Structure 1
């Protein structure tokens, strides 16, 4: 949660460092429950403020429904109420998303995260209808996920303001890269006196700047690898220790180069990024196997060595 005083209107607002949890897999493509539990412990020990499971970094688009449920049940059980757990209900259309949302709520998630519909072409009014329907289907808070690079729809700021004011949505994870739009949303929320709506940035390389703009928290994929670094960065930024925040952000920016470990002539950037996170976690002894779900390509020995060198340079090995 945010650092607002207990009992204040902002004290219920989700904030801080909320990593999107990787999904460890076995070589035969089952969920590696033991590794997932170790990863959750790794994150909790670092002092994170929440966990987001079944998002992009969790490989949600690659996982069958049975895998999704196993991930949700494992994380909720292992966390045991220590921090909020958000469950991604990511799918193409409203009825499918509602089904995922109900499963996540049933297993005990504290909130649901949903994108706009995708694959089908939608009008802004249909996107709003979709988010309203998802929110009405569960008794836990729903957070919108602004991810135009994957769903090809940018969430409308006026719609988010409207759904925030009505209490339909509890917040937004902004991975749009539109810092101007995010800043405008924060300003309009403040001007409207809308309390309890969280703005979380998915832009993990500009956390210090985003906190200065007024975001409530960060959802960093690299936070799987170095959660303590993001906890320090967020703490420095919230306290106005800008020199320390800048130094920590720049260290993490250099570490983030692991996402480029995979050769561009043989794999996509998603394979490289997700593979590098898992490879780093494997090298750190957190997960048993760095495999990613098909059709993604795995890192080879030379690419793994590049990840190892960057971990060492960041002080993690």
Structure 2
């Protein structure tokens, strides 16, 4: 294992200009804000970072900028998922050459023919032909494939496979992983924000909320109170985090909502990679109002 990762690791949005090139200045500003607020890592070019919407050149550029700007201050995870095993291996090797340590990989997608055995073989070959640490990423709505707990147990036997991010929403399967890996170094992260608190209480190493840069203080309180076993305070901040996440429901697309929320904080333009729609002015105002209510409640709690 090249680096231990824990806590709140936001899957950051990727700022882009009118030509869908990475807005380097905005990306560096967002990274600094996340680190200064105390978030524990950066996940670049994940689902929320529109990894498959960017060209390969711009995707690599976003990763390179992130590694350069983070400069070892916190761990960096990078999305290397793609439509075939060979393409993923190429992505991971490019990441390694940039100095990256931890690559995030999903099952292959688009063909939608994967069986559990194919997915296990996919991860096994990636781990065999690369040197980076590998995080397995379970996100069925985007891949069309669901990784079972039993498959995770098998993948964890491969060299370089060091962690698992679960965004399936199937808490029972995640709980099986928590029980199986208890007392080991294998890292388990919850990808569903609404399941963060209970997952941490049951032993998860952290969670990966797209809303992390928007409400970092609330995310950190959820993590801290869960790890401290303070159930009553955890309930309060978990409810507040869920209310903040609900603000994104005013838009059609959660990734666009997150980008709009970041734009409200002055980090970036809200434009999306085509053909994804950005939020409307009316939707953005509703998001702004909802987040303002949440922030007021947070401030009242902390006085």
TM-score (norm 2): 0.93
Task: Name the SS for the 2:270 alignment partner.
Answer: coil
1:155 aligns with 2:147: yes
CA deviations 1:129-153 (Å, max 9, x no partner) are 1101111222221010011111111
Q: Does 1:108 align with 2:99?
A: yes
Q: Which 5+ residue runs of structure 1 have no aligned equivalent?
A: 1-8, 263-268
1:223 is matched with which residue: 189, 206, 212?
212
CA-CA distance at 1:168 after TM superposition: 4.2
Structure-2 residue corresponding to 1:5: none
The superposition leaves residues 22-63 of structure 1 with CA deviations (integer Å, 9 ceiling, x where unpaired) of 101112321111000011011101111111111110011211
Aligned to 2:181, the other structure's residue is in SS state: helix
Alignment-derived partner of residue 41 in structure 2:
50
Q: Distance in 1 between matches of 2:81 and 2:159?
A: 21
SS of equivalent to 1:200: strand
State the SS of the aligned residue for 1:222. Answer: coil
Write the distance in 2 (CA, Å) between the matches of 1:230 and 1:137. 36
Which residue of 2 is the match for residue 137 of structure 1?
Answer: 129
Q: Structure 2 unaligned runs (5+)?
A: none
Structure 2 partner of 1:39: 30
CA contact (8 A) 1:46 1:231 kept: no
Of 192, 199, 216, the match for 1:210: 199
| Deviation per residue, 1:94-146 (Å, 9 max, x gap) | 01111111111111222011001112212222211110111122222101001
Indicate conservation of the 8 Å contact 1:258/1:273, yes or no: no
**Structural RMSD (CA):** 1.8
Residue 94 to residue 165, structure 1, CA distance change in 2 (3 Å): closer
Q: How does 1:1-317 map to 2 (within 5 A)?
A: 13-120=4-111, 121-190=113-182, 195-262=184-251, 269=252, 272-287=253-268, 289-315=269-295
Query: Aligned partners of 1:254 and 1:129: how far apart in 2?
Result: 40
Q: Is the 8 A contact 1:40 1:78 kept in 2?
A: yes
TM-score by length of 1: 0.89
Distance in 2, matches of 1:208 and 1:37, equals 29
Give the C-alpha shift of residue 224 in structure 1.
2.4
Q: What is the CA-CA distance between 1:227 and the residue it aligns to?
A: 1.9
Structure 1 CA distance for aligned equivalents of residues 279 and 151 of structure 2: 41
1:218-247 CA distance string (max 9 Å, x none): 010111211222112101110011211111
Q: Give the ranges of 4+ consecutive aligned residues of structure 1 lying more than 4 Å apart after TM superposition.
A: none
* CA displacement at 1:166 relative to structure 2: 4.4
Secondary structure of 1:246's aligned partner: helix
The answer to which of 81-90 and 131-140 deviates more is 131-140
Where 1:162 maps in the other structure, the secondary structure is: helix
**Matched position secondary structure for 1:113:** strand
